[in-house]
Chain A
């Protein structure tokens, strides 16, 4: 995630991150071994479930970063920068909050957008130059 979905990311890196993640998650689910039984508490199972959750979270972050075709603050998409290397916003297309709907294992999640309306102040690029 640090390599492919850090502060500075691009579409190619995000796509290969998704591929690596799918391979890693597949390997985890095929090879995971949880000692202990279902009778009584099982802290090892808790740890395994936590790791499984992290795969879902990582996938969500990678997908969302890939879908957001703009640079927004510290979410810097390398394709979307000005000649000076500053983040280039796209408020015409991305002034919204995205929420992903889980549609069952194996199915593609669905992206919903909740628009943000700014009335008094309009968002703009913060420049320190």
Chain B
């Protein structure tokens, strides 16, 4: 990142975007120029503008995933100049604004790269492996009937807050995409630590920890070698300390 553009000004950008029609065809970078677009646009809004231009000329628009566009759903995610979700910490790519970039900058946009995330099209990859990891975790035993009384199950405020901090994982896959081993350790650790710290998660705690870590290997995710890139790119800033905690859980 170099000098920042004016808050309400405009800028021109060169976008180098990975285009791939389908998994069976080889992909390639294509360059596009965005002329004088508002600096207050988000990067995804800039892609929307680019897509409008492409549709007008009859070309297939750039495919990227998006939904809430406020960093809470986990749909969006691709590499911007090699960094998952772009250069800003603690944000997903939908929260990245053009004012972050200098006028005339070149942005290279490419999809997550991981054996467990096969390409679908352009910036979209298949992330069902994360769903299967969740499914491998199984169920939590809860008593049926009336909603339990709020104070019947005691839990300390610090413990509840810590569980919540891990529950903020939106499952975007940035941790996997940024790991040189394409490990899903931070994702799985966050899911395990979310339930493992709460009273409701205790009955199946060990079984869940083992099953999810076995599924991680089965899906083709690599192992953790403590490079901590996952923590650095996580839009929710989930601590990689939970990976060590996860390894102890499976014993």
Q: Which of B13-57 contact A (CB under 8 A)?
A: 21-23, 25, 54-55
Question: Any chain B CB within 8 A of the CB of A35?
Answer: yes
Q: Are B121 and A40 in contact (CB under 8 A)?
A: yes
Verify A39–B22 contact, CB threshold 8 A. yes
Which chain A residues lie closer than 8 Å to B55 at the CB level? 35, 44
Contact B61 A41, beta carbon cutoff 8 Å = no
B60 and A44 contact, CB distance less than 8 A: yes
A-B CB pair tally, cutoff 8 Å: 31
Which of A37, A39, A41 meets B63, CB within 8 Å?
A41
Q: Which residues of A contact B54 (CB under 8 A)?
A: 35
CA distance A44 to B120 in the complex (A): 15
Are A41 and B120 interface neighbours, CB within 8 A? yes
The answer to whether the Cβ of B149 comes within 8 Å of any Cβ in the partner chain is: no
Residues of B within 8 A of A117 (CB): none
B158 on the A face (CB < 8 A): no
- Min distance, Cβ B122 to any Cβ of chain A, angstroms: 9
**Interface flag for B59 (CB, 8 Å):** yes
Chain B contact-residue range equals 10 to 19
Instruction: Give the distance in Å from the alpha carbon of A43 to the alpha carbon of B65 in the complex.
Output: 10
In the complex, what residues of B have CB within 8 A of residue A50's CB? none
A41 neighbours in B (Cβ, 8 Å): 22, 63, 120-121, 124
Cα(A75)–Cα(B50), bound, Å: 43
Distance A40 CA – B120 CA, assembled complex (angstroms): 8
In the complex, chain A residues whose CB is within 8 Å of the CB of B60: 35-37, 42, 44
| B58 contacts A by Cβ under 8 Å | yes
Beta-carbon nearest neighbor of B55 in chain A:
A35
Could you give, for residues 27-49 of chain A, a 1 whenever the CB lies within 8 Å of some chain B CB and a 0 otherwise?
00000010111011111100000
The 9 A-B pairs with the shortest beta carbon distances in the complex, nearest first, are: A40-B22, A36-B60, A40-B21, A35-B60, A41-B121, A40-B121, A39-B22, A35-B55, A35-B58
State the A residues within 8 Å of B (CB): 33, 35-37, 39-44
